[in-house]
Structure 1
Amino acid sequence: MTASFGATSTTDDVLAGVDLSGRRVLVTGVSAGLGVETARALAARGARVVGAARDLGKAHRATEVVRRDAANGGALELVELDLASLASVRACADALNTAGETFDLVIANAGVMACPKGTTADGFETQFGTNHLGHFALVNRIAGLMTPRARLVNLASAGHRFADVDLDDPNFERTPYEEFIAYGRSKTANVLFAVEFDRRHASRGVRAVAVHPGGIHTELARHMDPAELDRLIATLEAAPPAGSAPFFMKTIPQGAATTVWAGVVADADAVGGRYCEDCHLAEITEGDALRDGVRAYALDPDNARALWAKSEEMIGERF
């Protein structure tokens, strides 16, 4: 690893002195929050950012700061992408492949959290379909555009600790639906996708990593009742597990720091196929705590291979 960063580091701290001129980056979910800050921080160092969003009008307004701060050749281009529709995902991937420009970094940032039970346009449970399957189809379809030494960064969450994936009932057809169990399954899937993508592509220099940004006030919590959100935060702020620092809500620049650290600054061999938080590798931990560390099932290679096969089956494509 290079310089030491931590929970309070910001994107500007992590990228201080970094020149990304000539680099091209894809970031999904650039209409708010972490996606906008991630795009801003990268474009400010010279990266040419392709920002994907479902609502291009909203994204254009939200990314004014990205265009304002772009420097040293940095720029932003917006493309339409609805991760809850495989037709939209495939159209976006087809357009990117037709253009033929390569990517040095792909950041699967977009997502939904704790939403009411519903389905995507293709009939998948909303959180699993949007957070995992949409990105699974998009990234695999454009994998050929990723340059040697490119990286994939999947935005996961400590919420993966709520649940492992359920490959026998991914759409809650037999299991009672619980918002955070569904969220946990989708976030575990984000980690496992990085594990298997890394295994498949590391030989050509392309690496993948999953990151937990921390607790941040963003639009991600829009489906949660404010009182419920306050209770969750209070639980996390209660006496921390031994050896853990007190919990605090991060700013958006602090939340996006681990993404850019893992995608640009960290040693690729050290983070490839791993899960990171607070700008460092997370340790495998068990127990009931919702704080710190990664569950073993989220890094299990057999689990990752099984999820890959199930995901191919669900979307009707093989990679």
Structure 2
Amino acid sequence: MAYKSTILITGGTSGLGYHAALDIARACPDAQVIISSRSDREQAAASIHKALKQSNVVYAALDLGDLANVRAYAEEFAAARHPPIRALLLNAGLQFPGEAKTTVDGLEATFGINHVGHALLFHLLAPFLADNARVVITSSGTHDPEQFSGLLPAIYTSAEALAHPTPAFAASQGGRQRYTSSKLCNVLWCYALGRRLSSEPRRRGIMVTVMCPGFMPGTGLAREASAAARFLFLKVMPYTMPLLRALLRTSNIHSPAESGAALARLAVGDDDGVRGVTGKYFEGRREIQSSKDSYDVEKQEDLWRWTVGFLSGGDEEVRRRFEEVR
């Protein structure tokens, strides 16, 4: 079949990403849906095909913690001559509850995977985005201390401090605080990117939004946690969501299927709430305000400059290409 467009989802083989991919594949049978993660142990593409009785989903391996792998992935995408990208969902995410870890590129792993790997992927795939394409970033309400998530608040002094924390700073932060800080970076980067897309010379109409899917028991987010924590998160909490909503006094607790539907809506929905919307933050299906820090333009620009500088490796021509966004 000759597909009209491509839709690409990182972290698309399980949890939130899987359910978003399922809904998108159903809604867009004329698009090729590419789901990517480090592995596809659960045979997600085959599972979606079986559920929908169609065959427009493919798996492509991607390790966001290895920038050489991200570059190779983008090169393979270009060589395959896929149709233009209609929607790019930067959804994958990890947290490391214990001691700080680093990627193969020497970055603090939470920041490296949740932000830097995705930023590089966007810049490399930007030339293949269709006019009026949508870029959707998965963040988390935990980045906002006013939401009282129970996690320590995000800290942003500079991108460099998060990328290469000093021993003292690393010791002062737990893994979950590193996670909330990386999720703040997702929002900061969305707003910095949105400004550039709205003012880019060719006016291609590319839109970017960022979404909190809520607390989702049963997903792979806890795979780096202890065995006991994984058991509770994967086997107990999914069956106690009404109780959790009552105890935590919030409605922002959802199944992966519910949040996946909200993510799919931002990517391919056509209702007034998402059509033409850019540079906005969503909690599930609702557009809301993000944290106070996320609107700090100096923080947004510091993150943008550091990211482009790091990814270009000091090469002025590469830096210009990244800055152009395309």
TM-score normalised per structure 2 = 0.78
Q: 2:24 aligns with which of 28, 42, 59?
A: 42
- Match status 1:109 vs 2:91: yes
Which residue pairs with 2:148 in the alignment? none
Which residue pairs with 1:278 in the alignment? 284
CA distance in 2, matches of 1:169, 1:249: 32
Report deviation, 1:236: 7.3
- Match status 1:313 vs 2:305: no
- Match status 1:123 vs 2:106: yes
For the 8 Å contact 1:274–1:299, the answer to whether it is kept is no
- For 1:1-39, what per-residue CA distance to the aligned partner results, in whole angstroms no more than 9, with x for missing partners? xxxxxxxxxxxxxxxxxxxx8342000112311111111
Q: Select between 297-306 and 114-123 the one with higher mean Cα deviation.
A: 297-306
CA distance in 2, matches of 1:100, 1:201: 24
Question: Which ranges in structure 1 are unaligned for 5 or more consecutive residues?
Answer: 1-20, 241-245, 284-293
Which residue pairs with 1:9 in the alignment? none
1:82-161 alignment runs, 5 A limit: 82-101=63-82, 102-116=84-98, 117-161=100-144
For the 8 Å contact 1:30–1:63, the answer to whether it is kept is no
CA distance in 2, matches of 1:251, 1:187: 20
Question: Which ranges in structure 2 are unaligned for 5 or more consecutive residues?
Answer: 145-152
Report deviation, 1:208: 0.5
- For 1:209-240, what per-residue CA distance to the aligned partner results, in whole angstroms no more than 9, with x for missing partners? 1100111121102233446978x999975463
For the 8 Å contact 2:194–2:207, the answer to whether it is kept is yes
Which residue pairs with 1:250 in the alignment? 254
Report deviation, 1:248: 5.9
| 1:189 partner letter | C
Structure 1 309/237 Cα, relative in aligned 2: closer, same or farther at 3 Å?
Answer: farther
Which residue pairs with 1:18 in the alignment? none
Which residue pairs with 2:7 in the alignment? 25
For the 8 Å contact 1:164–1:298, the answer to whether it is kept is no
Report deviation, 1:183: 0.3
1:151-190 alignment runs, 5 A limit: 151-161=134-144, 162-167=153-158, 168-170=160-162, 171-173=164-166, 174-175=168-169, 176=171, 177-190=173-186
Secondary structure in structure 2 of the residue aligned to 1:204? coil
More helix by share: 2
- For 1:27-74, what per-residue CA distance to the aligned partner results, in whole angstroms no more than 9, with x for missing partners? 011231111111111111213201112114x15x23322112346x76
Structure 1 275/62 Cα, relative in aligned 2: closer, same or farther at 3 Å?
Answer: same
Structure 1 258/299 Cα, relative in aligned 2: closer, same or farther at 3 Å?
Answer: farther
Secondary structure in structure 1 of the residue aligned to 2:223? helix
Which residue pairs with 1:215 in the alignment? 215
Q: Which runs of 4+ in 1 moved over 6 A?
A: 232-236
CA distance in 2, matches of 1:51, 1:212: 20
TM-score normalised per structure 1 = 0.79
Which residue pairs with 2:150 in the alignment? none
Which residue pairs with 2:149 in the alignment? none
CA distance in 1, matches of 2:33, 2:211: 20
| 2:188 partner letter | L
- Match status 1:67 vs 2:13: no
CA distance in 1, matches of 2:13, 2:244: 30
Q: Percent identity?
A: 26
For the 8 Å contact 1:44–1:69, the answer to whether it is kept is no
For the 8 Å contact 1:44–1:74, the answer to whether it is kept is no
- For 1:244-278, what per-residue CA distance to the aligned partner results, in whole angstroms no more than 9, with x for missing partners? xx3463111112122112222243443x1111012
CA distance in 1, matches of 2:131, 2:70: 24
Structure 1 90/115 Cα, relative in aligned 2: closer, same or farther at 3 Å?
Answer: farther
Structure 1 55/308 Cα, relative in aligned 2: closer, same or farther at 3 Å?
Answer: same
CA distance in 2, matches of 1:206, 1:25: 14
CA RMSD between the two structures:
2.5
| 2:65 partner letter | A
CA distance in 2, matches of 1:249, 1:128: 24
